[in-house]
Chains A and B, each alone.
Chain A
Amino acid sequence: MKAYLTRRYLFSASHRLHCDEMSAAENQSVYGKCNNPHGHGHNYSVEVTVGGHVDSRTGMVCNLVDLDSLVNEKILERFDHQNLNTLTEFQGTVPTTENLCVEIFDILEENFHHAQVDKVRIEETMLNSFEYAGGREIRY
């Protein structure tokens, strides 16, 4: 039997949306308040969904301790209370939540081997959310 397990994690970070290839006026027009040069912050909620066959001995898709420790090490310690623009991941790309979502999915997919990383969903605020499933269609 295949099931999907989703765990939610929280971190806080700042960012500024700005593209060097655009003029100041273009940046202002595209990003609006998010282009403020000093940045601004969010409490991000990250939902990580992993899928796999339920192990008949443990009743689990994967051990939550393994998922928690990897997310803690690779995501929360990396991004929590950071200015995303200063991180190497975002030197060539704008730290929008779209790009953050793809980045987090790729990090988890590369490093988590106890189940398949199915999807990452990020709420930037209560009103905005972003989902990425490695390019696959998302099933509801």
Chain B
Amino acid sequence: MVYLTRKAEFSASHYYHNPEFTPEENQRIFGRCNNPHGHGHNYTLEVTVKGNVDQRSGFVVDLKELKEIMNREVIDAMDHRFLNKEVAEFKNQIPTTENLAISIWRRLQPKLNLAELHRVRVYETPDLFVDFYGEA
């Protein structure tokens, strides 16, 4: 079993707000992230897949294909977008880094039939990242 990680970058804006909370609660829990006009990050995405090395090709997965899936399913949908308003799953869910990692997993997992998805890691900044392994 060999693990392979492919990286991608995208930039997007978001804000944190739960309509079920009062304005005071939103402000207390989310602080500056509650600014309704949003703010942005340069996100780095790392997708790790695992599998056996194919004897003929020497690959776990065709990287070109993995790159195309990541571009199509994630980057095209999220790069230079306001996540709350332009990405379907975040109309009713707060686009925290945790939820972003889960959402990216759900977007990629059904499309990857060549290797098994192991981990989605999303860096919001170089000092803050979230890992999701598909755990319920």
A-side residues, CB < 8 A to B, are 1-9, 49, 54, 57-61, 63-65, 139-140
Contact = CB atoms under 8 A, between A and B. Distances in A.
A4 B16 CA distance: 19
A57 B20 contact: yes
Nearest to A10: B127
Contacts of B127: 7-9
B136 interface: yes
A5 B125 CA distance: 12
A63 B29 contact: yes
Chain B interface extent, by class: 20 to 34
Interface residue SS majority, chain B: mixed
Contacts of B20: 57
Contacts of A139: 133
Contact of A59 (B16, B128, B133, B136): B16
B34 to A, nearest CB: 11
Given A1-B102, A57-B20, A59-B99, 9 more contacts: A2-B136, A3-B102, A4-B130, A5-B130, A6-B128, A58-B30, A59-B98, A65-B31, A140-B3
Given A54-B102, A59-B16, A8 B128 contact: yes
5 contacts: A5-B97, A58-B16, A59-B93, A59-B95, A65-B31
Nearest to B123: A6
Contact of B99 (A6, A7, A54): A54
Interface string B24-56: 000001110000000000000000100000000
B96 interface: yes
B59 to A, nearest CB: 20
A58 B96 contact: yes
